[in-house]
Amino acid sequence: MNIGLLGFGTVGTGVYEIINKRKDFFRSLIGKDLNINKVLVKDTTKDRNINISKDKLIDNPYFILDDPNIDIVIEAIGGTAEAYAYIKHALTTGKHVITANKAVVAKHMKELMDLANKNKKAFLYEASVGGGVPIIKPLKQQVTLNDIEEIKSILNGTSNFILSKMIREDLEFTDALHIAQELGYAEADPTDDIEGYDVRRKLAILSTIAFKREVKEEYIHCRGIRTIKSVDTKVIKELGYTVKLLAKASFKSNKYYLSVEPSLLPDDSFYAKVENANNLISIIGNDIGELKFYGQGAGKFPTANAVVSDVLDILYNNYQNYGIDEGTYKLCNNTDLVKDRYYVRLSPKHTLSDYVLKVVKEEKIADKIIKTGDHIIFTTGNIELKKINSFINNVKESIKDEFYAAIQ
């Protein structure tokens, strides 16, 4: 069984090392050799800190994609346009495909699944959500037995690390982000992580499987963590809470509610104890109840391990590309289905502080009001998001751009 590996970065080298290290075990397990016999790299002459024959390195992806001796293609180059083109080409030419590329899976999931089904090949992507946390395969199994009612998850190690540092050490967001970048938790451009886009892609993938409907990224209400300040984390701690970037999807009354946003959680909750790069994914089925999946959501070997688990499913012929229902359905992104409690900070100019405080009291949506410095902070009872948004817009309109509002 021959594998072509597209990309030899963090994930690609991890996959290569795991397969080489356990080659004898795989042979005894499945009765055949498992070979990575071609690896796509940008520079075949580069010195690499890994034991690999130079003969395996190629710089033309079609030496893998069009090779009739290659059975499985593992895409590990990242990006979107090229990765999508290579995955589609490989499936079209009758190869099994494995990827960790959440951006491609979230955007093209239905098309690639349909293509894999047409050619009777596997399209597997366990590592695209949760890194080393096994969630895709268990979720596929559960949707055959259960109607999935809810998904609730912490799915991004970068944002989780930043929020943990802010809560524990009273740091400002920019300081915590800088530490995350120095330690390798955050990229030089952290936009996808801190604005919630990375989590939104992962939630789109999970929701598509769970609800058997094509869920696009743009369906999902999304807010990141950039607006959170140390004044917020201090007050949140005093209230007995912590804050996490949560991905939530639920199904009620034949409608779907999907969101990615910072959420307050009691200090003693299971989610509050998820630290650094760890992920927690909870699913609720009508018969099974709640299942929780916890583990490392990123890293070389956890992610590579998920890729290799997909390889084993192909070797055992233990895969199924589930179809996506094209029937009519209605998505509800933000208002009607879910009521929640909200944390709101208003930071008006000093001269307008009394006026804003008066408006907050008159609206009668606050169950607790805190005045600290130039900030007016309040929490609400269970109300609809559209009511909070309407309040913020009304205040903005009345005093124009004289304050900054943050909602958690």
* DSSP for 7-62, written as a single string: --SHHHHHHHHHHHHTHHHHHHHHSS--EEEEEE-S-TTS--SS---GGGEES-TH
What pLDDT is recorded for position 219?
84
In the chain, which residues fall in CATH 3.30.360.10? 136-297+321-332
CB atoms within 10 A of CB 197: 19
Of 16-30, 34-48, 107-121, 321-335, which gets the smallest average pLDDT? 321-335
Q: Which helix (H) or strand (E) holds 238?
A: helix 230-238
In 3D space, the residue among 227, 221, 247 whose CA is nearest the CA of residue 344 turns out to be 227
Total-model pTM: 0.92
Low-confidence winner among 22-31, 157-166, 277-286 (lowest mean pLDDT)? 22-31
Give the per-residue pLDDT at 399: 63
338 sits in which H/E element: none
| Cα 382 to the center of its chain, rounded Å | 27
Identity at 4, one-letter amino acid code = G
Residue 334 has pLDDT above 60, yes or no: no
Lowest mean pLDDT among 242-246, 327-331, 378-382: 327-331
Other CB atoms within a 10 A radius of the CB of residue 217 amount to 17
Q: What pLDDT does residue 403 have?
A: 44
Q: What is the C-alpha separation between 400 and 150, in angstroms, rounded?
A: 39
List the 366-372 sheet strands across, edge first: 366-372, 375-380, 343-348, 403-407
Residue range(s) in the chain whose domain bears CATH number 3.40.50.720: 2-124
* Structure-block tokens of residue 96: 């099994």
Mean per-residue pLDDT, 93-110:
96
CATH 3.30.70.240 spans which residues of the chain? Answer: 339-407
Percentage of the chain lying above the pLDDT 90 cut: 62
pLDDT of amino acid 308: 96
The mean predicted confidence, pLDDT, of the chain is 89
Please tell me which residue in 121, 202, 229, 244 is annotated as part of the active site.
202
Q: Residue 191's closest CA among 221, 156, 150, 154?
A: 156
Please confirm, yes or no, whether 202 is among the known catalytic residues.
yes
What CATH number belongs to 339-407? 3.30.70.240
- pLDDT bracket for residue 319 (50, 70, 90): confident
How sure is the predictor about 402, in pLDDT bands with cuts at 50, 70 and 90?
very low
CATH of domain 2-124: 3.40.50.720
Which helix (H) or strand (E) is 105 found in, with range?
A: helix 102-118
Other CB atoms within 10 Å distance of the CB of residue 333: 17
pLDDT digits (tens, 9 = 90+) for 56-67: 999 999 999 999
Q: Which CATH architecture has domain 136-297+321-332?
A: 2-Layer Sandwich (3.30)
Q: What is the pLDDT of residues 143-155, one digit of tens each?
A: 999 999 999 999 9
More confident residue, 106 or 346: 106
Looking at residue 321, its pLDDT comes to 66
